[in-house]
């Protein structure tokens, strides 16, 4: 039986490949999803892939994951640094969480150095580009 892993993406990641490609690269979120699905299949994992610019929608998906997922990979984007609500939702999720960031947030503005999500995550992957999502899948495999 396959494990279901939720891959959750926060605000502005729908613009991946178009917004600041010098930081985030040229791959679109659809490209990322395709690669994640292919890698997940090879590892015997099922994926629920989701992106929203709305904090509440991400929280709703985390709540849904409580009943359906064996793990969460989350790139909360700007909510990383601001959302106690997402942290609280993740704290109510009883399976592993891996936090992913495409850029190395520690080489960027000082406000990006703090992550509420890291307080809950078993692992944090930053600065590997979109490959970080596939590395996170390896954790669950």
**Which sequence positions are flagged as catalytic?**
24, 101
Whether 8 contacts 61, CB under 8 Å: yes
Q: Residue 28, class by beta-carbon neighbours within 10 Å (0-12 exposed, 13-18 middle, 19+ buried)?
A: middle
Whether 118 contacts 76, CB under 8 Å: no
- The whole-angstrom separation of Cα 117 and Cα 80 is 6
- The per-residue DSSP string of 40-106 comes to HHHTTEEEEEEE-S-HHHHHHHHHHHHHH-SEEEEE-GGGGGT-HHHHHHHHT--S-EEEEESS-GG
């Amino acid at each position: 039986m396959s494990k279901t892993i939720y891959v959750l993406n926060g605000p502005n990641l729908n613009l991946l490949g178009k917004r600041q490609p010098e930081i985030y690269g040229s791959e679109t979120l659809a490209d990322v999803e395709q690669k994640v699905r292919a890698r997940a299949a090879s590892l015997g994992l099922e994926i629920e892939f989701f992106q929203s610019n709305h904090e509440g929608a991400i929280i709703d998906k985390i709540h849904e994951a409580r009943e359906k997922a064996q793990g969460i990979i989350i790139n909360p984007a700007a909510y990383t640094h601001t959302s106690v609500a997402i942290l609280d939702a993740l704290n109510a999720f009883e399976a592993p969480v891996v936090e992913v960031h495409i850029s190395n947030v520690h080489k960027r503005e000082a406000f990006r150095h703090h992550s509420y999500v890291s307080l809950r995550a078993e692992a944090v992957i930053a600065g590997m580009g979109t490959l970080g999502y596939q590395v996170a899948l390896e954790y669950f495999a």
